[in-house]
Amino acid sequence: MAKVVKNSGTICLRAEVCDLERTLLGGQSFRWRKLCSEPKVKYCGVALNTYWELTPEAEHIAYEAHVATNNPTNTNFTSLLSDYLRADFDLEKQQKNWMLADEKFKKFVGQPVRMLSQEPLENIICFMCSQNNNIKRISSMIQWLCSAYGNKIGLFNGQEEFTFPTLKELQGERSCSQLDAELRAAKFGYRAKFIARSLTEIEKLGGLDWFEQLRRLPYMEAREALVQLPGIGYKVADCICLMSLNHLQAVPIDTHIFKLAQRHYLPHLASQKTVTSKIYDEISQHFQQLHGQYAGWAQAVLFCADLPQFQPKLESNAAKKRKK
């Protein structure tokens, strides 16, 4: 049994510029959950081979980090977490810019959502799972994947936690079609084949080294490289560029953003039923022209504001009638 090492500390990130609820549970990552421990709210989850418990305070975020010693990680947990939450990014300043550029942005800026800096492989697999899917099911699929192929870190608050598997761990001695079959059996549906084939491709392209190249490439070139993989279209490619390749100008257009754009930004699209590639480009470029180099982060704020789970509770029909 591997030894588990525990570390604790704080990172400098004021609650005012970091809403952990929306940042961690808003569909960027699928491995965080809320720990409703009294008296303080905590969030726990796995990222970067480490199991974290985070407690937001007014002036900083307190963390506990647990890592199994047989899992390789950087041991400077403070810098690890700071990088993950992009603590150096001045969100306050950018939000002011976004509001200046877009009058309508104001009503969405209530809560400060941070753009996580995630690991490419995890990001790619999660978002290949995201097509025609919802956050709840994606989370359970990823949890299964980690427990089946990752390394156990330990038992925390009644749940076993696992690292996200590496490319090698996912492939093992398995052929591409074997992995496909295993994922099929685990209810990944038609995404199973996409994932198995893409992993084979990624291995051929150089694995982690390839991801490093994509980080250094201009955004549009990284995007074009990604859509060559089976199961990755422009939407998922943009998610990957934005969330794990540091291309913060990428603006993924999903069904939520499409509907939001129809209602609030590009009314002439109101009659359109589906997001064609032409419409995709139009909406994406609209937000890029509005917000520039950090347009993708601005989009993430809009996306979170639009999620049903973060909507203020609708008043009941009975309450509406009483008002009338």
Partner DNA sequence: TAACTACCTTTAGC
Partner DNA sequence: AGCTAAAGGTAGT
Q: Catalytic residues, which ones?
A: 235
Q: Where do runs of H (alpha helix) occur along the chain?
A: 20-25, 77-84, 91-101, 120-129, 135-149, 167-171, 176-185, 191-205, 208-216, 219-226, 234-244, 255-264, 277-291, 295-306, 317-323
Tell me how far, at minimum, the Cβ of 64 lies from DNA, in Å.
25
Query: For residue 237, which of 288, 198, 272 has the smallest C-alpha distance?
Result: 198
Residue showing tokens 């937001």: 56
In the 8-state DSSP scheme, what is residue 272? -
Residue 169: count of CB within 10 angstroms of its CB: 13
Residue type, 224: E
Residues of the shown chain interacting with DNA in the complex, contacts defined by CB under 7 A: 26-28, 127, 130-137, 184, 187-191, 194, 227, 229-237, 239, 252, 254-257, 273-279, 299-300, 303
* Cβ nearer to DNA, comparing 3 with 313: 313
Task: Name the residue among 244, 253, 197, 198 with its Cα closest to residue 219.
Answer: 244
281 CB neighbour count, 10 Å cutoff = 12
Identify which of residues 66 and 235 has a Cβ nearer to DNA in the complex: 235
- The Cα 300–Cα 159 span in angstroms is 29
Helix (H) / strand (E) containing 157: none
Judged by CB, which is closer to DNA: 61, or 305? 305
* Number of neighbours of residue 87 by Cβ within 10 angstroms: 19
| CB closer to DNA, 4 vs 148 | 148
Alpha-carbon separation of residue 132 from 149, 189, 190, 236, 255 (angstroms): 24, 11, 11, 12, 10
Residue 103 tokens, joined: 């009058």
Which is closer to DNA, CB of 153 or CB of 301?
301
- Minimum CB distance to DNA, residue 14 (Å): 23
d(CA 276, CA 261): 14
Query: Given the complex with DNA, which of 68 and 226 has the nearer CB atom?
Result: 226
